[in-house]
Amino acid sequence: MRTINFKKKIHGPVFSIVTPFKKNGNIDFISLFKVLKFYYLNNVRIFYLMTYNSRLGLLSDEEVLKLNIRISNFLKKNYKDTIFIGATKFEGSANETLKRIKQLSKFRIDICSIIFGEKFYNEKQVYAHFKYINDNTTMPLLLHLQMMMNGHGVKPPVVDYSINLTNKICSLKNFVAIKEDAKNHQFTVKLIKKIKNKVIIIRAGGGMSAWKNYKLLGCQSWLVGMELIDPKIAFDFVKALKNKNKNFLNNLENKIEKPFFKEVSKYGWHIFIKSCFEICNLMKRDERLPLKKLDKTDHQKVEKYLVKLRYLCKKHLGYEYFKKI
């Protein structure tokens, strides 16, 4: 395992890895490596195998392990200056999670993302789970913050992590990062202030426009959205932020990114972005049930939208992003 100063290495855009499938349902590793190469050649250095974007819930334990290993080996062989955040499946006991982490620790996986997959009954239960894993591995860990199902059978049906619980977990010695995806702005602000000196915060949700505000509070990174289909826009955004290019930033937020998320909401994130990948010649949009790819009619609507999006980018940002490769 490499010794890395993650605070220095992880900043700016973090790219989740979308798992491509063949028509027969098998993982399409050729397309996967094509996307990784495309990302690297467009300045991406931080790769994240993430529970939902990477379709880990649709894969077997063996497939998740294989996916981690194949990505790790590909990056190690070809692109040594990258950071790879791997992940385990979230089902199973703490011991099962620990077993999976120990398997991954044999390979060049820099951080392992873990998630609490059981119903919530009390905070002691959640903390005990993560502490047990922390105390029995030396692997750097990322806390994937995700709403938990309420085990008490009363409203609300889901329970958020509290500031106190999150802070306690992030204080454990092997936790180096957190993927933060709260839907509550005030919670996010308070959490960033509380844990920013303990772990790297990767903000998910709201895209570039949201991150530029959280960055001022100490949030180092964001999980990309539309940038998955054209990384250049992420790095042009970072440049505009550094140069205080208000015209670019305002147009990106109001003319491009917010309308993009509105369009996504018509179909759903995972299947929409897969259609975008196919249109841009990155991978096919095939899925495994229970996920189902967009039908031909909806796919054509997405294709028309991308034509419009390219035009709007050229008009408002001065560059035609999201072109086919």
User: How do residues 116-139 score in pLDDT, each as one tens digit?
Assistant: 888 888 999 999 999 999 999 999
Q: What is the DSSP string of 35-77?
A: HHHHHHHTT--EEE--TTTTTGGGS-HHHHHHHHHHHHHHHHH
Predicted pLDDT of residue 2 = 57
Structural domain includes residue 213:
yes
pLDDT one-digit tens code per residue, 61-116: 999 999 999 999 999 999 999 999 999 988 788 899 999 999 999 898 999 999 98
Q: Are 204 and 179 in contact (CB under 8 A)?
A: yes
Same domain, 216 and 130: yes
Structural domain includes residue 1:
no
Q: Are 252 and 315 in contact (CB under 8 A)?
A: no
Structural domain includes residue 299:
yes
Same domain, 99 and 159: yes
Same domain, 193 and 91: yes
Q: Which domain holds residue 249?
A: 229-325
Same domain, 106 and 168: yes
Same domain, 116 and 83: yes
Structural domain includes residue 122:
yes
Predicted pLDDT of residue 1 = 53
Number of domains in the chain: 2
Phi, psi of 212 (to 5 degrees): -60, -25
Amino acid at 319: Y
Cα–Cα distances in Å, from 82 out to 10, 13, 253, 316, 317?
10, 13, 29, 32, 29
Predicted pLDDT of residue 118 = 87
Predicted pLDDT of residue 3 = 65
Same domain, 209 and 272: no
Same domain, 111 and 53: yes
Q: Residue 219: which CATH number? A: 3.20.20.70
Structural domain includes residue 100:
yes
Which of 189, 206, 224 is the last residue in one of the domains?
224
Structural domain includes residue 89:
yes
Same domain, 138 and 268: no
Residues (pLDDT < 70) of the chain are 1-3
Structural domain includes residue 96:
yes
229: exposed, middle or buried (Cβ count in 10 Å: 0-12, 13-18, 19+): buried
> Is the Cα dihedral 251, 252, 256, 257 positive or negative?
negative
Same domain, 16 and 58: yes
Same domain, 117 and 194: yes
Q: Are 146 and 205 in contact (CB under 8 A)?
A: no
Same domain, 155 and 285: no
This prediction has a pTM of 0.94
